[in-house]
């Protein structure tokens, strides 16, 4: 990951952009993602895409962001995740909360 990580003390800060495919709309995926992000102090956003996928950006401590990615691999009950495209990006720290985009 090289320069994609920012060190603050002993904690590494990361940014992940994901696209989730499958049955991911109409199953409370966005609200459960926000709830999980808030519980792990992860910042960023999540939204539905017109093509049926879910898109999200997560920023925070590496372990916490990984927990969000792991959640998105399975989703809430009712979801059926068939694929996740994960792209690690440079941490920006510009987001101060997690929000659902409409």
Cα separation, 94 vs 100, in Å, equals 16
Active site residue 30: yes
Q: Is 48 a catalytic residue?
A: yes
- Please pick, among 3, 30, 74, 83, the residue that the annotation labels catalytic: 30
Residue 61 to residue 68: CA distance in whole angstroms: 11
Catalytic residue from among 3, 39, 48, 96:
48
**Cα–Cα distance between 61 and 33 in angstroms, integer?**
16
Considering only the C-alpha atoms of the chain, give the largest distance between any 2 of them, rounded to a whole number of Å: 41
Q: Which residues are catalytic, by number? A: 30, 48
């Amino acid at each position: 990951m090289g320069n994609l990580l920012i060190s603050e003390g002993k904690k590494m800060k990361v940014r992940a952009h994901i696209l989730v495919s499958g049955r991911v709309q109409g199953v409370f995926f966005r609200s459960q993602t926000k709830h999980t992000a808030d519980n792990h102090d992860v910042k960023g956003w999540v939204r539905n895409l017109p093509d049926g996928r879910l898109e999200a950006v997560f920023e925070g401590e590496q372990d916490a962001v990984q927990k969000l990615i792991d959640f998105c691999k399975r989703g809430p009950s009712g979801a059926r995740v068939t694929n996740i495209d994960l792209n690690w990006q440079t941490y920006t720290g510009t987001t101060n909360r997690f929000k659902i985009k409409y």
